[in-house]
Amino acid sequence: MAPIVALGAQAVDRVNALLMIGLILSFLIFVFVGVDKIIPSFLIEKTNWPFAFTVTPLILASFGFQGTVPTLTNYLGRDPQKVKKAIFLGVSLTLIVYIIWEALILGVVPYSLLQQTLKQEQSAVFPLKTVLEAPWLYRIGEFFAFFALVTSFLGVTLGLLDFLADGLKIKKSGKGRVLLALLVFVPPLIFAMLNPFIFLTALQYGGGIGGALLLGFFPLLMTWRGRYHLKFKSEYALKGGRITLTLLFIFLVFALFRMLI
């Protein structure tokens, strides 16, 4: 997938459209077959609502779309309304899919078996082979996981490539594009080969401290300084002014606090 990202946003858009078809089809099949297998008691077998607040940092990582906003803005012709619509629909659809996916996994697989599976560092869809006695449905779940991972990979790495191009003043053409692709893909490839599980360790920090700083505090500080100190004007600005920014800041402080304790 790396060469596709190196070709630019248009190539990623076309390939991503095909992958999204596979993602939607595998998801619909999984839902259609698995929904009648849900056991409601499984969903409330291990319920602890106060403990749910500890996943706040994970929310930042799961919905960390901010890195693709500059790429998305340029690709949509710098139209604020189109960008706003793309972000809103993208996040909303993702949330709905996450909720349905969680309901299916938690409602079909007994808690004890799911806990054992995760301790063995296996995929959450792995126990479906045992529970449903339907290996083909497990494969459908794997396909869904694959398409979800690859589509995320395309978006994140494309945003990173544009970020490096902007920050290092490298033109996205010819040798410059090749250099950017090497900077984006070679370092993580080396780390992954040296330590295949380093991603899980990095995610513990990236989802909490890193996510709160890079996807939360920095954009808020940039927005506050741009609006109220440098007096930047924009065709679109999030409504609410200082109140909205302050509420978001409080939420991020809470998320960071939950990560540190």
pLDDT at 208: 66
- Give the pLDDT band of residue 57 (cuts 50, 70, 90): low
- Give the pLDDT band of residue 239 (cuts 50, 70, 90): confident
What b/e string do you get for 113-127 counting C-beta neighbours within 10 Å, with b at 16 or more?
ebeebeeeeeebbbb
Q: Which of 144, 176, 194 is the last residue of a domain?
A: 194
Contact between 28 and 177 under an 8 Å Cβ cutoff? The reply is no
List of E strands, the chain = none
Q: Which of 179, 194, 209 is the last residue of a domain?
A: 194
Contact between 140 and 30 under an 8 Å Cβ cutoff? The reply is yes
Q: Which of 148, 179, 194 is the last residue of a domain?
A: 194
Q: Between 46 and 2, whose confidence is greater?
A: 2
User: Residues 106, 223: one domain?
Assistant: no
Question: Which DSSP category does 239 fall into?
Answer: T
**pLDDT higher than 90, residue 185:** yes
What mean pLDDT do residues 174-183 have? 89
| Chain segment 85-140, per-residue pLDDT in tens | 998 998 898 889 888 888 888 888 888 888 888 777 677 777 776 777 667 777 78
Q: Between 45 and 163, whose confidence is greater?
A: 163
Q: Give the containing element (helix H, strand E) for 114.
A: helix 111-119
pLDDT at 184: 92
Distance CA 172, CA 177 (A): 5
**pLDDT higher than 80, residue 7:** yes
Distance CA 83, CA 77 (A): 9
pLDDT at 32: 84
* 22: containing domain: 2-194
pLDDT at 207: 62
User: Residues 146, 203: one domain?
Assistant: no
Half-sphere exposure at residue 53, Cβ-oriented, CA atoms within 13 angstroms:
11
Contact between 131 and 108 under an 8 Å Cβ cutoff? The reply is yes
User: Residues 141, 34: one domain?
Assistant: yes
Which class for 255: exposed (0-12), middle (13-18), buried (19 or more C-beta within 10 A)? buried
Contact between 128 and 108 under an 8 Å Cβ cutoff? The reply is yes
Percent of the chain residues topping a pLDDT of 70: 93
Q: Between 121 and 216, whose confidence is greater?
A: 216
List, as one string, the DSSP characters of 208-219: IIIHHIIIIIHH
User: Residues 34, 139: one domain?
Assistant: yes
Longest dimension (CA), the chain: 62
User: Residues 129, 147: one domain?
Assistant: yes
